[in-house]
Amino acid sequence: MANLIVDGHLDLAMNALEWNRDLTKSVEEIRAQERGMTDKPDRMNGTVSLPAMRKGRVGLCVATQIARYVKPGNTLPGWRSPQQAWAMTQGQLAWYRAMEETGEMVQITNKEQLEHHLKLWEESTGHSPVGYILSLEGADSLVTLAHLERAYSYGLRAIGPAHYGAGTYAQGTDAAGGLNSKGRELLKEIERLGLILDASHLNDTCFWESMDLFHGSVWASHNNCRVFVQHNRQMEDRQILELIHRDAVIGVALDAWMMVPGWQRGVSTPTDMAVSLEQIINNIDHICQLAGNAKHAAIGSDLDGAFGKEQGPQEVDTIADLQKLPDLLKNKGFQPQDIENILSGNWVRFLRRAWS
Q: Structure pTM?
A: 0.98
Residue 71: predicted pLDDT: 87
Residue 77: predicted pLDDT: 92
**Homologous superfamily of the 5-354 domain (CATH):** Metal-dependent hydrolases (3.20.20.140)
Residue 124: predicted pLDDT: 75
Q: Which residues of the chain have pLDDT under 70?
A: none
- Between CA 220 and CA 201 the distance in angstroms is 9
Q: Calculate helix-pair angle for 346-354, 111-122, nearest 10 degrees.
A: 150
Residue 74: predicted pLDDT: 85
- Between CA 263 and CA 26 the distance in angstroms is 29
Which of 336, 340, 342 lies closest to 287, judged by CA?
342
Secondary structure of the chain as H, E, C letters: CCCCEEEEEECHHHHHHCCCCCCCCCHHHHHHHCCCCCCCCCCCCCCCCHHHHHHCCEEEEEEEECCCECCCCCCCCCECCHHHHHHHHHHHHHHHHHHHHCCCEEECCCHHHHHHHHHHHHCCCCCCCEEEEEEEECCCCCCCCHHHHHHHHCCEEEEECCCECECCCCECECCCCCCCHHHHHHHHHHHHHCCEEECCCCCHHHHHHHHHHCCCCEEECCCCECCCCCCCCCECHHHHHHHHHCCCCEEECCCHHHCCCCCCCCCCCCCCCCCCHHHHHHHHHHHHHHHCCCCCEEECCCCCCCCCHHHCCCCCCCHHHHHHHHHHHHHCCCCHHHHHHHHHHHHHHHHHHHCC
Mean pLDDT computed over every residue of the chain: 97
Residue 263: predicted pLDDT: 98
